[in-house]
């Protein structure tokens, strides 16, 4: 039987069609060269991002459901000693590589010799500092959801604002600025949400409750930092790792080992296990980070930066404050030395000072490494360019390289607007993506004339082949 043309279903379809037509008629036209369609970042299977060996192993497993936020994959890693969050593929790899060292640290800090020495040592430390009137200034630490901020058309926080903020922090501390973050390193306490959210309270432990000035004095007297770096060197890990499980045990072992009556090295030897071949074997840690004190490393990095950057004040501010740990700061200087850019270092340092987290600091360091891997010695004399809230590199032959050290590039609203910027629309252009890209992102980049390199290597010694698509 035929339906009446005035049926409720038909009337509903007619109304919907009329509304859709009216919306399309009034919708703003897409910018020239920019696609109207964008996508949201998704929850994906961990196996689509990492190799099978990283999914599980002795004493650990990775949650198979991974949320993509800010072009980075946010993993949950379950271990025998607790749950860890890893906000990128790179940091997941490091957290898993640290597990053998973590096991040794845990065993050493539960040994009878440690417990006996810790009782006397901690009591003496607290007694020595009980009358100090200074109060620590709590630092606001946290981890933004990703690095999406660098794919926006403008800086969210300009460099001069960043400098004034760090100057105010220095005045609040009442000194010339803490050269590097405290024991646990920068951005140890992760929080959910963006950097604009209300900060979570910093977790207090027995060694962070002590007044900060007095704590620094005791550490100098006891050669705390020397012992801590030596333990990290023995284990082959970053002494400034932001792994909270590693830092809690590393700091405790270094405090007690500084007393002189307890040998942290002997405690590690007694529990056995792997040696110094974890992160060091892959060349991820510059040996100088283990050998030099934070103050000496800061001075060395400042001297090296002045070979590329003209603003001496900016250099001093960068090496003293910000989201870069001593290890990441040294890696950034190494990368600049390798590139030897003719111009753009000062603007790049200003961009680096605006980094809000370890994740963003890594994005910049890895971006420089992507460029160096792609160009090698041909990068010498090129130009660092700050474009919008991110950066690119102009080679001497005129090619523009845009390094994106992300896990998966999605064609979000931010990405579409960023790639529509004028400096990214002309000439020979190559985008270097450390991870991969969605089908829509790859399609849009091709339409815009980009040559795309997926899984681009981040160093000249990297053996991983890049999947290259000439668009």
Q: What is the pLDDT of residues 59-99, one digit of tens each?
A: 999 999 999 999 999 999 999 999 999 999 999 999 999 99
Tokens 């603003």, residue? 311
Q: How far, CA to CA in Å, does 88 sit from each of 3, 20, 66, 144, 361?
A: 57, 40, 10, 12, 13
Tokens 């990492």, residue? 50
Structure confidence at residue 363 (pLDDT): 96
Dist. CA 96–CA 101, nearest whole Å: 10
pTM recorded for the entire structure: 0.76
Sequence-ordered list of residues with C-beta below 8 angstroms from that of 80, at least 6 positions apart, any chain: 59, 60, 103
Torsion sign over Cα 14, 16, 17, 18: positive
Least confident of 12-16, 72-76, 309-313: 12-16
End-to-end CA distance of the chain: give it in Å, rounded. Answer: 55
Segment 359-365 mean pLDDT: 95
Q: Is the pLDDT reported for residue 1 higher than 50? A: no
Dist. CA 391–CA 423, nearest whole Å: 11
Determine how many CB atoms are found less than 10 A away from the CB of residue 409.
26
- Six token digits for residue 39: 């996508």
Q: Is residue 405 within 8 Å of residue 73, measured between CB atoms?
A: no
DSSP structural state of residue 265: H
Higher pLDDT, 355 or 14: 355
Q: Three-state DSSP class for 277? A: coil
Q: Is the pLDDT reported for residue 223 higher than 60? A: yes
Torsion sign over Cα 397, 399, 400, 404: negative
> Count of alpha carbons within 13 Å of 279, Cβ hemisphere only?
29
**Average pLDDT over all residues of the chain:** 76
Structure confidence at residue 222 (pLDDT): 60
- How many Å separate Cα 300 from the centre of its chain? 22
| Strands 436-437, 408-409: pairing kind | parallel
Q: Three-state DSSP class for 72? A: strand
- Six token digits for residue 359: 């994740």
Q: What is the pLDDT of residues 393-445, one digit of tens each?
A: 999 999 999 999 999 999 999 999 999 999 999 999 999 999 999 999 999 99
């Amino acid at each position: 039987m035929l339906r009446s043309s005035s049926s409720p279903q038909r009337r509903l379809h007619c109304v919907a069609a009329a509304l859709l037509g009216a919306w399309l008629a009034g919708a703003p036209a897409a910018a020239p060269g920019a696609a109207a369609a964008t996508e949201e970042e998704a929850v994906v299977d961990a196996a689509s991002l990492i190799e099978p060996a990283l999914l599980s192993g002795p004493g650990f497993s990775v949650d198979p459901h991974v949320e993509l936020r800010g072009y980075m994959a946010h993993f949950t890693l379950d271990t025998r000693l607790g749950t860890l969050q890893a906000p990128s593929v790179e940091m997941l790899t490091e957290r898993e590589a640290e597990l053998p060292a973590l096991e040794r640290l845990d065993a050493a800090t539960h040994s009878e010799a440690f417990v006996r020495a810790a009782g006397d040592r901690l009591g003496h430390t607290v007694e020595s500092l009980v009358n100090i009137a200074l109060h620590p200034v709590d630092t606001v630490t946290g981890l933004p959801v990703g690095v999406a901020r660098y794919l926006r058309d403008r800086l969210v926080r300009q460099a001069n604002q960043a400098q004034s903020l760090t100057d105010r922090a220095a005045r609040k501390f009442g000194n010339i600025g803490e050269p590097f973050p405290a024991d646990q390193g920068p951005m140890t306490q992760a929080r959910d949400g963006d950097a604009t959210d209300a900060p979570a309270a910093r977790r207090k432990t027995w060694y962070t409750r002590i007044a900060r000035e007095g704590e620094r004095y005791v550490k100098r007297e006891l050669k705390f930092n020397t012992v801590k770096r030596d333990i990290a060197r023995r284990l082959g890990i970053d002494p400034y790792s932001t792994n909270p499980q590693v830092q809690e045990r590393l700091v405790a072992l270094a405090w007690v080992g500084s007393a002189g009556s307890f040998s942290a090295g002997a405690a590690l030897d007694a529990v056995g296990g792997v040696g110094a071949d974890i992160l060091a074997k892959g060349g991820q840690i510059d040996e100088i980070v283990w050998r030099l004190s934070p103050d000496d490393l800061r001075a060395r990095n400042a001297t090296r930066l002045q070979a590329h950057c003209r603003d001496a004040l900016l250099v001093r501010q960068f090496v003293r404050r910000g989201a870069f740990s001593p290890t990441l700061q040294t890696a950034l200087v190494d990368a600049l030395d390798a590139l030897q850019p003719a111009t753009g270092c000062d603007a790049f340092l200003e961009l680096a000072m605006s980094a809000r987290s370890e994740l963003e600091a890594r994005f910049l360091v890895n971006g420089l490494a992507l460029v160096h891997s792609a160009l090698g010695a041909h990068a010498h004399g090129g130009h660092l360019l700050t474009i919008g809230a991110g950066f690119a590199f102009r080679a001497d032959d005129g090619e523009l390289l845009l390094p994106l050290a992300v896990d998966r590039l999605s064609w979000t609203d931010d990405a579409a607007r960023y790639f529509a910027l004028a400096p990214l629309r002309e000439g020979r252009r190559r985008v270097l993506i450390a991870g991969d890209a969605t089908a829509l992102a790859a399609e849009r980049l091709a339409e815009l004339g980009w040559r795309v390199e997926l899984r681009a290597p981040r160093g000249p010694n990297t053996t991983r082949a890049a999947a290259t698509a000439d668009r």
